[in-house]
Structure 1
Amino acid sequence: MATTNDLRNGLVLNLEGQLWQVVEFQHVKPGKGPAFVRTKIKNVLSGKTVDRTFNAGLKVDTATVDRRDMQYLYKDGNDYVFMDVKSYDQIYVPGDTVGDAARFLLENQDVIVAFHDETVLFVELPAAVVLTVSHTEPGLQGDRSNAGTKPATLETGAEIQVPLFLNTGDRVKVDTRSGSYISRVTD
């Protein structure tokens, strides 16, 4: 048990028999009336996001979530195979559970896999990953009709918008939360 004053991003709550992860929270103290906490929570299993308001100091039930360091090995049909870096146990995680994280998964990449009662809840990637551009059209100088960006396909198959100066074979840093280009990586 915790109170709404203890809420933080990433905390998993057990509300009405379902697991919800706190995405955003904001403590609000209006000039009139009691304080409250405005949250955006995401259903861990379905991915549905809802806004919910709690009274300040209200007790909420937190879920025990075990976060384990794992390494992505390979894709097997619709499942993704991960290996625990400490015990070397391998687990199969359905593609629906991996979700959007699959767009930026490379073999042998370290990730965090969250468990609740030995059930995989979600896969958490690092905030940014470095990937190689596998295909992009050459950028033309003076072509600014689309704010100086062009589509590029990464080695994982994900498509993102990159600046015009990037070419096929360049390495880029990508934000895994938003799927946006951060910078070019030079070795």
Structure 2
Amino acid sequence: MKILGSDIRVGNIIEYKNDLWKCLKNQTSNRGNLRSHNQVELKSITKGTKLNERFRADETVERASLEEKKFQFLYSANDEFFFMDSANFEQISINKSIIEDCEKFLKENLEVTIEFYQDKPLNIILPRSVEYEVLETESVVKGQTASGSFKPATIQNGLKIMVPAFINQGDKIIVDTETQEYLKKVS
């Protein structure tokens, strides 16, 4: 399936230069009289090498044709992560090299989408937002206003994020998995 260069997003897998590449970062630019373009950092799925490339907005690239399946995260052991197919309850293991940055967001029973290319798992797509418990946070300083001020907090899996001053240890919050930012408190 062909997509425009401006439509390449983080996590997309494209066919480019006779290889499969995963987009790690992208930045769209539209300055002055220059044509708009998308600066992307790509990582080769097969070789592990990285490449920085600039795609014009009107340029087309081939998005890899991948099969998507829903899985539930079970547990991890050493460098292997175990998932269960939500449809037929079969279990698969995926190496840490494929999981990459998703590891810090995985928690037991989290439903994810796994993309396969020729029956080989290539990519994990996390839900856009996930609920976590705040394990540790600083107490509020007296006189500090509740609106607009943030403090560091450690949530499940040891991930550190900034949360509003009214969040306390034990609270459940929703976190954006793409930006790693606090979204809201769960009542």
Q: Same fold (TM over 0.5)?
A: yes
The equivalent of 2:87 in structure 1 is 86
Deviates more, 1:166-175 or 1:85-94: 85-94
* SS, match of residue 153 in structure 2: strand
The equivalent of 1:18 in structure 2 is 19
The equivalent of 2:58 in structure 1 is 56
Q: Which letter does structure 2 place at the counterpart of 1:40? A: V
C-alpha deviation, 1:43, in angstroms = 2.4
Does the aligned pair in 2 maintain the 1:11–1:62 contact within 8 Å?
Answer: yes
C-alpha deviation, 1:86, in angstroms = 1.2
* SS, match of residue 101 in structure 1: helix
Q: Distance in 1 between matches of 2:134 and 2:88?
A: 34
Does the aligned pair in 2 maintain the 1:8–1:25 contact within 8 Å?
Answer: no
Q: Distance in 1 between matches of 2:29 and 2:139?
A: 48
Q: Distance in 1 between matches of 2:110 and 2:49?
A: 23
* CA offsets 1:5-60 (integer angstroms, 9 cap, x no match): 795546532111322245658697x979xx775353532634947342248365x4
Instruction: Tell me the TM-score normalized by structure 2.
Output: 0.79
* SS, match of residue 158 in structure 2: coil
Q: Distance in 1 between matches of 2:65 and 2:76?
A: 28
Correspondence list, 1:143-154, <5 A:
143=144, 148-154=149-155
Q: Distance in 2 between matches of 1:115 and 1:171?
A: 33
Q: Distance in 1 between matches of 2:5 and 2:165?
A: 46
Does the aligned pair in 2 maintain the 1:7–1:25 contact within 8 Å?
Answer: no
C-alpha deviation, 1:149, in angstroms = 1.6
Pair 44,123 (structure 1): closer, same or farther in 2 beyond 3 Å: farther
C-alpha deviation, 1:171, in angstroms = 0.6
The equivalent of 2:104 in structure 1 is 103
C-alpha deviation, 1:81, in angstroms = 0.3
Pair 133,51 (structure 1): closer, same or farther in 2 beyond 3 Å: same
Pair 6,102 (structure 1): closer, same or farther in 2 beyond 3 Å: closer
Q: Which letter does structure 1 place at the counterpart of 2:133? A: T
Deviates more, 1:174-183 or 1:134-143: 134-143
Does the aligned pair in 2 maintain the 1:68–1:114 contact within 8 Å?
Answer: yes
* SS, match of residue 141 in structure 2: coil
Q: Which letter does structure 2 place at the counterpart of 1:132? A: E
Q: Which letter does structure 1 place at the counterpart of 2:183? A: I
Q: Distance in 2 between matches of 1:170 and 1:47?
A: 41
C-alpha deviation, 1:78, in angstroms = 1.6
* SS, match of residue 138 in structure 1: coil
Q: Which letter does structure 2 place at the counterpart of 1:86? A: A
Correspondence list, 1:30-179, <5 A:
38-40=38-40, 42-43=42-43, 45=45, 46=48, 48=50, 50-54=52-56, 56=58, 60-143=61-144, 148-179=149-180
Q: Which letter does structure 2 place at the counterpart of 1:56? A: D
Q: Distance in 2 between matches of 1:141 and 1:178?
A: 30
Q: Distance in 1 between matches of 2:120 and 2:143?
A: 53
Instruction: Tell me the TM-score normalized by structure 1.
Output: 0.79
Does the aligned pair in 2 maintain the 1:84–1:90 contact within 8 Å?
Answer: yes
